Each structure stands twice: as structure tokens, then as C-alpha cells.
Structure 1
Amino acid sequence: MFRNEAKELFSEFVIEHKENVYRLAYSYVKNEQDALDIVQDSIVKGLKSLRSLKDEKLVKSWFYRIVVNTSLDFLRKHKKVQVVDDIEIHAPFEETKYHDIDLERALELLPIQYYEIINLRFFEDLKLEEISFVLKLPLNTVKTRLYRALKILRINME
């Protein structure tokens, strides 16, 4: 793909999916301004690394990977993610868009490795293969974590 074509494709994608990208960043940081900063940083990183986009069909999962990594970097930098026995856990939500308080609380309790998969699958509507690409995980690991996350959510919702 030529550089100008890639820039145009990327620009169109960002404009068309800006709400989804913002929502993804917000789902990690739970703060409007921080989410906007992450989106802006992600766009800059995306523009700088356009040459790594080999297939235009993968632009969504490619850019979501950048947004997820930028969000996690932000959380680590601002100490909003704790590492406990090699499992990362989100700091408590400051504010939320979820209307179901029980679901919100159950999501808060999920370790980040499960939260990411639930968020990308059900709130961002990514396919399992796309989640695998975004999180750089084998497909079977994604399936296993999704199963475990749903099991934990089910228990916490009861």
C-alpha cells in the first residue's frame, strides 16, 4: 500500500470510527480528558507507524491495538493499574457509562486480562480473531479468557 493511500485510509477510518475509538480509550481510563489525550496520542502513533499496516482490511484491529497499548501505557504511567501476582487489575472506576450497577461492579472486579476481552468483544463488537490480533494473544487464549471472564461475571452477578 502506498503511503498516501495508507494515510487516506487511516484518516477515513479515524473520522468514521472516532466515537468507537474514544469509547475504547474511555473504557480504560474512565475520564473524558484522558481518553481524548489517548485518542490523540494513538492517532499520532498510527500515523508514524502506517508502514506497519500491511493489509487495509486490518486497519480496525491494527488501530485498536495502538489504542489499547496507549491506554495501558497511560494507566501504568499514572499508577492506575496495579500488578498483583503478575495479574493486572484496574483501579476503581471514577465514572461510568454503564446503566446496570451490578454489571458495573462485576466488571470492576475483573482482572484486566479478562476485562479487556469482555470490553473488546461485547462493547466494541470485535470478533475473537480481531481480539487476538489487538491483544497479541493466541486465539485459544482469547477463547479461554472469554470463557473464564463470563464465568466470573456470572458468579459476581449472582
Structure 2
Amino acid sequence: MDKDEFCEQIRLYEKSMYYVAMSVVRNEADAGDVISEAIYRAYKSLPALKHKRFFKAWILRIVHNTAVEWIRKNARLVQMEAIEENIEEQSVHDDLTMKVTLKEAVSALKQPYQTVVILFYYENLSVMEIAHITDASVMAVKKQLSRARKMLYKVLKEDCEI
């Protein structure tokens, strides 16, 4: 794969990379940094990609691993945006008339549930591909999806009176 093909593939999967990064770091600025770093790492290790047809899973795995690494490095930092988001979340919960949308419910899921839901439902990846990206077993991904569905059902049932 040459430089132009690589750039074309990156543009093609730009949104997917963003969703994966956001599902882990939950901050737009950090997601941008994670994506930039992941693209750099992918380009450096491009010779390791054996088949072009696996590019999407390969790049999403690099983004996921970079995001997880980013979280580990920055776990002790308390960012002002996170504090503001917590204040906003509290005010949202205080407002009983506000309904939770599916997107908000997915965003509220903790890791690894949020990532597997995004990859499975939004990115239409198979359980096998998700297992490869997240470096988990197929059975673990299936369990995470099952638990995430139950969590989403519970949240949506309470808020939307299903």
C-alpha cells in the first residue's frame, strides 16, 4: 500500500476512528490527539499490514490501543472539561422531564461496553473483528455486548417508559 492509498483509507474511515477514540477518551480534543498519534503509528507500521482488506480492523485496533494508552498516561489528570461535564450531567439528571436518547445512553456506558456497542451497531463490525480490535476473546465480546444491551434496555426503560 502506497502513501496515496493509505491517505485514501484514512479519509474513508475517519468517522470510525473518531467514534472509537471518543468511546474511550470521551473528550474531543483528546480524541483528535489520539487519532493523530494512531495515524502516525499506523503509517510507521504500514509494512506490517499483510492484506489491504483488513485495513479497517487494523486501523481501528491501533486507534483503540492508542486511546487506552492515552487514558493510562493521563489517568491522574483532572481536566476542567470533565468537571464541567459532571456538573451538566447532574443538572440533566435533576431535570425529570428530559428523556435520554439512545446516543446519550450509549455515551453513558462504561468501558468496555461503550466501545463494543459502537463497533458492533454503529460500525457494523463482527464480533470476531471487535475481539481483534479490542484484544479480547470472542466470548468476552459477546458477554460485553449482552451486558451492554441489558444496561441500555434498563436505562431506556426507566427514562422512556418502554
2:111 is aligned with 1:112? yes
Is this contact kept in 2: 1:30–1:93, CA < 8 A? no
2:35 is aligned with 1:36? no
Is this contact kept in 1: 2:113–2:145, CA < 8 A? yes
CA RMSD of aligned residues (A): 3.0
Is this contact kept in 1: 2:112–2:144, CA < 8 A? yes
Give distance in 2, aligned partners of 1:140 and 1:147: 11
Tell me the TM-score normalised to structure 1 length. Answer: 0.74
- Structure 1 residues not aligned, in runs of 5+: 82-90
> What corresponds to 2:52 in structure 1?
56
> What corresponds to 2:127 in structure 1?
128
Per-residue deviation, 1:118: 0.9
2:139 is aligned with 1:140? yes
Give distance in 1, aligned partners of 2:120 and 2:19: 13
Greater fraction helix: 2
- Percent identity between matched residues is 33
Tell me which amino acid in the other structure corresponds to 1:30. Answer: R
Is this contact kept in 2: 1:24–1:124, CA < 8 A? no
Q: How many equivalent pairs are there?
A: 142
SS in structure 2 at match of 1:101 = coil
- Structure 2 residues not aligned, in runs of 5+: 89-98, 158-162
Distance 1:69 1:80, change over 3 A: farther
Larger Rg: 2
Give distance in 1, aligned partners of 2:143 and 2:129: 15
> What corresponds to 2:92 in structure 1?
none
2:46 is aligned with 1:26? no
> Which of structures 1 and 2 has the larger relative contact order (alpha carbons within 8 angstroms, sep 6+)?
2
Per-residue deviation, 1:143: 1.5
Distance 1:78 1:93, change over 3 A: farther
SS in structure 2 at match of 1:112 = coil
Q: Give CA-to-partner distance per residue, 1:78-109, whole Å, 9 cap, x none.
A: 2179xxxxxxxxx88949xxxx635425642x
Greater fraction strand: 1
> What corresponds to 1:87 in structure 2?
none
SS in structure 2 at match of 1:22 = helix
Per-residue deviation, 1:111: 3.4
Distance 1:107 1:31, change over 3 A: closer
